[in-house]
Every structure is written in structure tokens, then in C-alpha cells.
Amino acid sequence: MAAERKATVSRETGETKVKLQITIDGRGRCRASTGIGMLDHLIDQIARHGLFDINVEAKGDLDVGQHHTLEDVAICLGQAFSQALGERRGIVRMGHAAVPMDEALALVAVDISGRGHASIDTPLEGRDISGLDTDLIRHFLETFAAEAKLTLHVRMLSGVNDHHRVESLFKALARALDTATCIDERREGDIPSTKGTI
């Protein structure tokens, strides 16, 4: 019986208090309470479409702005992914997905490489999506990639409505992560790297 791939991460600073739990081999269940409704919605997309179970509770200085809370949630989500995957034995490692939402189409590719890097091309028209500052979308993705120690490429291929663009992006991220974190039984528990470590 394979070890359960799950992790709990807590982070407390002078600006925020975050607790996040993730189960990689989940059923797509999410409980997100960050004080930022759109962020909760996007985390739910990752859980639901990646079939991860994610519970996150965050309290932050939202009177100052959304940046600290969103950043620390991204830190915790990335760290939890990394911890839950352990040595990365047997994983597919790479995954990609192109996901439409109405007129919007997003492409996401990931490599669970052990190296945090993000290349993000997401042109957004407005300054706000349902109360979330659009400038923070890029920051969330970059922070998550750095803390999860994975390479992330994101391209917004088409779209008019910013909500549709961002939602298609997070659904594509979920699908790509699901593929990359799946266990390939043919590997027989080997680490998918010529170096023997990730």
C-alpha cells in the first residue's frame, strides 16, 4: 500500500495566519476561507479539477490590501504540494492542459523538476476580477511555482472576459498538476530523473 500523499502547512506572520492541508490523491473537495472570495473560488478550481482535497483557512490584514494574504496562501499551497509529493517517486512528473471557458482558452504546462520557475503570459484587461486585484494573479502563480519547486508555463491563448480567462487558467493548472502528480506504475517507484533525485 502506497504511503498517503498529504501534507499540512501553517504560516503565521505579523500580517497573516494561514493553515492549509492538501491530499494529492483526493476527490476534488475544497474548503477555502481566505477572506478573498475570488481567491477561494480559484483554489476550489485547483481542487475540483485536479482531484486534490484542499482545506485552507487564512486570516490576514485585508484592511491593508490583498497582497499579504494571497502571497502567504500561495506559499503554503506550494509548500504543501512539495511536502506531499515527498521524493517524487513514481510520478509522471510533467503535464500540460489546454482548457477553454466559453471564449477563453488557457494553456498550462508543468514540470515537477525540483526547480521553481514561472513563465507567465496572461494579458488581462481590467484591474479587478470579482474583487481580486488582477496584478496578484501573476504573483500567486510565481509564488506557488517557487514554493512547490516546479517549472510552470502559462499562456493565455484567447479570451475577452477576464473572469473567463483566469478561471480557464486555473482549471488548466489543475489538470496539468493532476497529470504530473499521477503515479506511473511502470516506473516501479523510481524517481523520474536521470540524476536519480528531484
How sure is the predictor about 90, in pLDDT bands with cuts at 50, 70 and 90?
very high
- Asked if the structure places residue 194 within a domain, the reply is no
Q: How many angstroms separate the CA atoms of 37 and 84, rounded? A: 26
Quick one: 155 exposed, middle or buried, by C-beta within 10 A (0-12, 13-18, 19+)?
middle
Question: Taking the CA of residue 33 as centre, how many other CA atoms within 13 Å lie in the half-sphere pointing to its CB?
Answer: 5
Beta bridge partners of 129: 132
How sure is the predictor about 35, in pLDDT bands with cuts at 50, 70 and 90?
very high
Is a pLDDT exceeding 60 seen at residue 118?
A: yes
Collapsing DSSP to helix, strand or coil, 182 comes out as coil
Query: What stretch of H or E contains 100?
Result: strand 94-101
- Asked if the structure places residue 149 within a domain, the reply is yes
- Predicted pLDDT at 102: 97
How sure is the predictor about 194, in pLDDT bands with cuts at 50, 70 and 90?
confident
- Asked if the structure places residue 30 within a domain, the reply is yes
The packing angle between helices 37-50 and 162-181, to 10°, is: 40
As a whole-number percent, the residues of the chain with pLDDT over 70 amount to 99
- Asked if the structure places residue 152 within a domain, the reply is yes
How sure is the predictor about 1, in pLDDT bands with cuts at 50, 70 and 90?
very low
- Asked if the structure places residue 77 within a domain, the reply is yes
- Residue range 11-33: mean pLDDT, rounded: 98
How sure is the predictor about 139, in pLDDT bands with cuts at 50, 70 and 90?
very high
Is a pLDDT exceeding 50 seen at residue 180?
A: yes
Q: What is the CATH number of the domain that holds 136?
A: 3.30.230.40
Is a pLDDT exceeding 60 seen at residue 79?
A: yes
- Asked if the structure places residue 195 within a domain, the reply is no
Q: How far is CA 56 from the centre of its chain?
A: 13
Number of domains within the chain: 1
- Predicted pLDDT at 2: 62
What sign for the dihedral angle of Cα 91, 141, 41, 6?
positive
- Residue range 161-169: mean pLDDT, rounded: 97
Domain extent, residue 125, equals: 6-187
- Asked if the structure places residue 20 within a domain, the reply is yes
